[in-house]
Chains A and B, each alone.
Chain A
Amino acid sequence: MTIKLADLEEAYDALAEAIDRTPPDRRELMLVKLVLLQARDAADPARLRALAEIALQDL
């Protein structure tokens, strides 16, 4: 799966701005809500599991 650089940069900014608009103690909650909304759109739980494995690397 590939994404054009311009789209990635737009997503990057959107995510950063959303995090900055969230009170610090609600950031985790907001991000989980966001992932659930993405999970609805993607309708692919196996893909979510695989992506979570990637995100778990190098923490």
Chain B
Amino acid sequence: MHQPDATPRRSLYFRYRVHPAAPRPAAGHDHAPVVVVGGGPIGLVTALDLAGRGVRCVLLTADLQLSEGSRAIVFTRRSMEILQQVGAHEPMLALGLPWRSGNSFYRDRCVFRMEAPHDGHDRFEPMLNLQQPLLEEALVSLAQAQPLLALRWGHRVTGLQDGPEGVELEVDTPQGSYRQRADWVVACDGARSTLRRLQGLALEGDSYEGRFVIADIRVELPFPTERRAYFDPAWNPGNTVLMHRQPHGIWRIDYQLPPDASAEAALAPPALRAAIDAQLALVGAAGTAWELDWCSVYSARALTLPDYRHGQVLYCGDAAHLLPIFGVRGANTGLQDSQNLGWKLAMVAGGTAPPALLDSYSRERVGAAREIIAEAGRSTRFMTPPTAGYRLLRDATLSLSLTQAFVRPLFHWRTSRPHDYLHSPLNTPAPAEDGLADGPAVGAPLRNVRLQADRWLLNHRFDGFLLLLFTDGSAAPAALQDAPRHWRARGVPLTVLTVGPGADLDDPEGRVAARYGVTAAGAAFLARPDQHVCARWPAATREALDGALRRALALD
């Protein structure tokens, strides 16, 4: 019998609440269209997104309380845009610490400082620091208010049978086990995914040697919220130390372990104390009092499943891939998975689109993971050189960086960014010269636009597809205006939003048009429910729109 830990986790800043284990479902209520496994941020956002699209779902979480420790602490602008769609951005903004700049230090000097791009049109800062349990708490509140979502604490999946008619999960609870049936299962059960093991799936890729101690301490330090990376500090020669400020007076200190050090020895209190004291001394805060909140050891890895769909089971987040932390690619990648999957699964579960639509989820997101792995590999090779050659080059770069500006961009920390699905089968390719070259590419996410002081384009609730249709003040063609009625009757939510002087979206100064590279009326961008552009035209027609929608839904 599953006996989850009912002792509240210890934290200096977060009060863990132990939830009562959910009862087993009553006889005859053991089926759901979708079961999401895993109560972390990715599972919660996936379930909220699905329920928001009208899909009844069950969320199973093995624990009775939220995640231990700060875990994911840096959320990108794109993640905030995704979280906005499920209504979680406001608590994030209220609690989190926004930031833009990263600093690399070597021998007491800041040898590279970089500011992440921030456009006046963006609503969210490039990064926002917030401890994962605080995000989870906000998401749980939203889940509890969502009538289509049943959140079951203390339910652990122990078995899985997949067939063409659906999946049967064996679930263990403190009150005994039961069988839960589902048309679809989404595995958001993290790096040590039970479902991945039950389906006998193996991750592919490299396992890097770099291991980091992650320590959260409560301490007063006079630094702004920025990324601070220390290379080859005297107390940890050859290795790298990262520092991030978190809310509630907490600082994250990540430091690399020498290759021969054991994780147990590194986490032993005297060793941990010595390392943190040495790092505080390095930043000029020797002797400052501090208190440990949480610590763990992390291994830098770059692995992915080669396919995120296995029968009726879909993999999302760390269950699907393990990505290096450099560049904040864990939760931020998982949120993009979740956003990509949500609308597709809702369309398939609702019978509007064929299951083949889900293959595009796998194709787009495996492609994103592989791109991230290639990109993150460069950062990883610099932060934790895997061979003697890479170490020598890194050390030569550090040494040159004190006087030679040309090597400093090698410190560039490549952060998670939205993936452009440029080669997606759901795209309607645009001709090379469509006159919209300055607008978002087909496959890229829509660009946010500040419409008024506190109003942005991406405040739009993406309950379905969105056609942004640029007009010159005259009415849009009736055939396009009529498209939403036609498609909604087929279960496909579509909104036509005219943009221009006096249009739905009044754009008297042409701000939106400028941001979308539009110079003539009639141009249009069709965005999927995950905000990615799947077609664009210099002069949209109803026939072209219908064709693009069929393609984006895998109906052709």
Contacts and interface: CB of A to CB of B under 8 A. Distances in A.
Contacts of A33: 396, 399-400
A40 B399 CA distance: 15
B400 A29 contact: no
A36 B400 contact: yes
Interface string B485-522: 00000000000000000000000000000000000000
B407 interface: yes
A32 interface: yes
Contacts of B406: 40
A42 to B, nearest CB: 13
Contacts of A29: 392, 395-396, 399
Contacts of B393: 32, 36
Contacts of A36: 393, 396-397, 400, 407
A32 B407 contact: no
A10 interface: no
A28 interface: yes
Nearest to B400: A33
B392 A28 contact: yes
B364 to A, nearest CB: 32
Interface size on A, as a range, is under 10
Contacts of A40: 404, 406
Interface SS of A by simple majority: helix
A32 B404 contact: no
A40 to B, nearest CB: 5
Nearest to A32: B396
Contacts of A37: 400, 404
B395 to A, nearest CB: 6
Interface string A28-54: 110011001100100000000000000
Nearest to B396: A32
B180 to A, nearest CB: 56
B466 to A, nearest CB: 44
A21 to B, nearest CB: 15
Contacts of B400: 33, 36-37
A53 to B, nearest CB: 15
Interface in B294-317: none
Interface string B353-396: 00000000000000000000000000000000000000011011
B177 to A, nearest CB: 60
A18 B397 CA distance: 18
Q: Which of A28, A36, A37 has the most CB of B within 10 A?
A: A36
Nearest to A33: B396
A37 B396 CA distance: 10
B45 to A, nearest CB: 42
A44 B94 CA distance: 50
Nearest to B392: A32
B123 to A, nearest CB: 40
A32 B389 CA distance: 10
Contacts of B392: 28-29, 32
Nearest to B407: A36
A43 to B, nearest CB: 10
A37 B403 CA distance: 12
A29 B395 CA distance: 7
Contacts of B395: 29, 32
Most chain-A Cβ atoms within 10 A of its Cβ — which of B393, B396, B406?
B396
A37 B395 CA distance: 14
A40 B133 CA distance: 47
Interface string B388-420: 000011011101100010110000000000000
Interface string B256-290: 00000000000000000000000000000000000
A33 B394 CA distance: 10
Contacts of B404: 37, 40
Nearest to B394: A32
A40 B404 CA distance: 11
Nearest to A28: B392
A32 B400 CA distance: 10
A29 B399 CA distance: 9
A7 to B, nearest CB: 24
Interface string B80-112: 000000000000000000000000000000000
Contacts of B407: 36
B68 to A, nearest CB: 42
Interface in A4-34: 28-29, 32-33
A55 to B, nearest CB: 13
A30 to B, nearest CB: 8
Contacts of A28: 392
Nearest to A35: B396
Interface-centre pick from A29, A33, A40 (highest chain B CB count, 10 A): A33
A36 B393 CA distance: 9
A40 B393 CA distance: 14
A37 B404 CA distance: 9
A32 B407 CA distance: 13
A33 B396 CA distance: 5
A37 B397 CA distance: 10
A29 B404 CA distance: 15
Given A36-B407, A37-B400, A37-B404, 5 more contacts: A29-B399, A32-B396, A33-B396, A33-B400, A40-B406
Interface of A: 28-29, 32-33, 36-37, 40
21 contacts: A28-B392, A29-B392, A29-B395, A29-B396, A29-B399, A32-B392, A32-B393, A32-B395, A32-B396, A33-B396, A33-B399, A33-B400, A36-B393, A36-B396, A36-B397, A36-B400, A36-B407, A37-B400, A37-B404, A40-B404, A40-B406
Interface of B: 392-393, 395-397, 399-400, 404, 406-407
